Structure 1
């Protein structure tokens, strides 16, 4: 008969096996609500850690669980967890190959040769690096300014943050627009990304905009356009080149970035980067994802001020996919196959429309990734996205 301490240890080890499987299961399970969405976003991004956790739990079960039925169940839990993690890890090199192929297809087989050697030397050397995963992607020193007010529409102060390379100079401008269902967020979001990109040789402007439901479309687009005008007017003060500008957005921010860049009267924009952004609002309203943790229709109603049935024309005007009547800046679209907020099929639809209309576009899809996959900066998906994003930026802004 087992002593009380051994029984406690047995159940602790078994609990670890269960927890390991529970966390790993969100690599494939779709989240039914916003609370569980955090797990669905994070699990694949930390899959190497989860692989180690399942391995440790398996070893502990072998050594410390003596009851056969409990040990067998614990083994099953850990083996399933290991298989789920292995699915991501095995797919990393295959995804690297596919993404490289897609970049060359969109930009040309020799697109990297058009980037100056000194720029290429600063970039990540591998699409995925285990050292960076466990130790973090190195962030070098940059200059940083915050709380820069660029406008006050309706009495709402709109601020921006500016990240600059450590040396004084004149750099291409990268304008970053945060996501948050058009309802929340601030310019400090994704600050690690902004710092990293600034050190690569860009002046990064992280801008703000008014939020729904109090302020509805087109207020957000107006604010982005106001920010672009402010940046162009004051470019010299921030060591930015207004003729070499790229817009980068995430989710709702990607939607605004595309809309701003695609306007017929938009200022000169060299390129747009869209991380999992809505492109077809009527399509998203008619066929929301399942499960639908964010309640897509409610979000769109809050943003637009009504339903698709009530405002069909406004939904059309607010959809980047309807702006393909004139030449557009090159566009990089990055989506996760498991995205249950903005499904990857819309990103592919946008890519196909851009490509068929003669515009330069690249569509990258990450098989295991959910919405907001880059919330884990050194995670699996963000490393792949960052690797190709910095090459796309350099191609658009430095190509010879």
Structure 2
């Protein structure tokens, strides 16, 4: 009886582990059909090395248990080994693609900026950057985030009684630094200057002043309100640059998703002062196409999101949709752009970023397009994950080239 109970318990344990490993691993390949499943679709590829070890351990456990105790049930053995083997293969997919993706990213940045684009950077600065595009240990121990000086909730505008604030991140040592203006995403409807706190701390520690800014949200406030708020923040930064140790001649904008759309428009359309570079993480670039070519699946209900942001459809407001599309702002003499998109993204497809890069280059601008094949929208929410390590490696080099090497 005890042997039978032990057999049932071990079968239940193995079955549970098999189910968990396969369920989580399958989201590496499957896009999220609804918003509530998006964290799984985003997170699973980023922790894939952990999943590989977990699934390999389950595979070994299946083999040992059934070989030593239940080899009389060959069908159960074969089924369990097949399921755990499939989970191992799924979880290993991003790692198997990593080398090719990194080589393509390296080729993209060198073809646009030159093979020796880091030549003019001081060795001490290069030493502060990540030494490799992937450090396995950081997936478990997390990327180290040095201490910085931080001022939170500084009021920069009060339109319609809505308090717009910003956070300012600075290196520990007092000095004068290049600056990065960070604009959060959230479908233009949610978020705050605290949203990208880990990145802002990390990049400030490398020798930048990071201004993380706010803007009013849809649907209560619709475009171009958000862009006006970004410009108000830039005007505030221009006025208060000296007292906040900011070199106004060396400023870049970075945004994610909706924030990237605002960053590109602000950088491309007559900013209050010259912008040296812009970094776009998976930002929408053609809002008309985004409305007319709805992704499948569509976890954020793209058409409803765009109607909330713009107040209608492209048929109702064709001019406004064009004005809100960074693609229509492309012209000669724009600041260099780094565009990073996920190949698995079903919110903003990577093809749009690729097309924007081509249009920028056709007008004589420098543009680096990097696609991370396994990554979903908002991949950098897992800061130490596989995709963000690759993105961070090239983002910090691009920013150093744009703000420190020229």
Q: When the two structures are superposed, what TM-score results if normalisation uses the length of structure 2?
A: 0.97
Counterpart in the other structure of 2:40: 39
- Do the aligned residues in 1 keep the contact of 2:231 with 2:271 (CA within 8 Å)? no
Mapped partners of 1:30, 1:379: distance in 2? 18
Counterpart in the other structure of 2:16: 15
Residue-by-residue CA offset, 1:32-65 (whole Å, 9 max, x unaligned)? 0011111110011000000011011112212234
- Do the aligned residues in 2 keep the contact of 1:116 with 1:398 (CA within 8 Å)? no
Mapped partners of 2:185, 2:44: distance in 1? 21
Counterpart in the other structure of 1:372: 378
What runs of 5+ residues in structure 2 fail to find an aligned partner?
A: none
- Do the aligned residues in 1 keep the contact of 2:332 with 2:364 (CA within 8 Å)? no
- Choose which of 89, 101, 106 in structure 2 pairs with 1:95: 101
Report 1:1-400 matches (<5 A).
2-65=3-66, 66=70, 67-400=73-406
Mapped partners of 2:209, 2:315: distance in 1? 42
- Give the C-alpha shift of residue 325 in structure 1: 2.9
Q: Secondary structure at the match of 1:74?
A: helix
Residue-by-residue CA offset, 1:88-145 (whole Å, 9 max, x unaligned)? 1111111111111110011111101132222111100000011112211111111111
Residue-by-residue CA offset, 1:370-389 (whole Å, 9 max, x unaligned)? 00000000000000000000
Greater Cα offset, 59-68 or 354-363: 59-68
Mapped partners of 2:157, 2:7: distance in 1? 65
Mapped partners of 1:62, 1:290: distance in 2? 39
Q: Secondary structure at the match of 1:112?
A: coil
Mapped partners of 1:80, 1:197: distance in 2? 39
Mapped partners of 1:99, 1:107: distance in 2? 12
Mapped partners of 2:201, 2:271: distance in 1? 30
- Do the aligned residues in 2 keep the contact of 1:18 with 1:74 (CA within 8 Å)? no
- Give the C-alpha shift of residue 163 in structure 1: 0.8
Residue-by-residue CA offset, 1:333-369 (whole Å, 9 max, x unaligned)? 0000000000000000100000111001000000100
Mapped partners of 1:226, 1:384: distance in 2? 33
- Do the aligned residues in 2 keep the contact of 1:247 with 1:261 (CA within 8 Å)? yes
- Do the aligned residues in 2 keep the contact of 1:44 with 1:368 (CA within 8 Å)? yes
Mapped partners of 1:392, 1:368: distance in 2? 22
Mapped partners of 2:271, 2:134: distance in 1? 39
Change (3 A) 1:95 1:336: same
Mapped partners of 1:103, 1:366: distance in 2? 14
Q: When the two structures are superposed, what TM-score results if normalisation uses the length of structure 1?
A: 0.98
- Give the C-alpha shift of residue 265 in structure 1: 4.8
Change (3 A) 1:17 1:340: same
- Give the C-alpha shift of residue 71 in structure 1: 2.7
- Do the aligned residues in 1 keep the contact of 2:189 with 2:217 (CA within 8 Å)? yes
- Do the aligned residues in 1 keep the contact of 2:102 with 2:390 (CA within 8 Å)? yes
Provide the aligned length of Structure 1 versus Structure 2: 400
What runs of 5+ residues in structure 1 fail to find an aligned partner?
A: none
Greater Cα offset, 326-335 or 62-71: 62-71
- Do the aligned residues in 1 keep the contact of 2:343 with 2:371 (CA within 8 Å)? yes
Mapped partners of 1:228, 1:154: distance in 2? 19
Q: Secondary structure at the match of 2:56?
A: helix
Q: Secondary structure at the match of 1:111?
A: coil
Mapped partners of 2:95, 2:132: distance in 1? 15
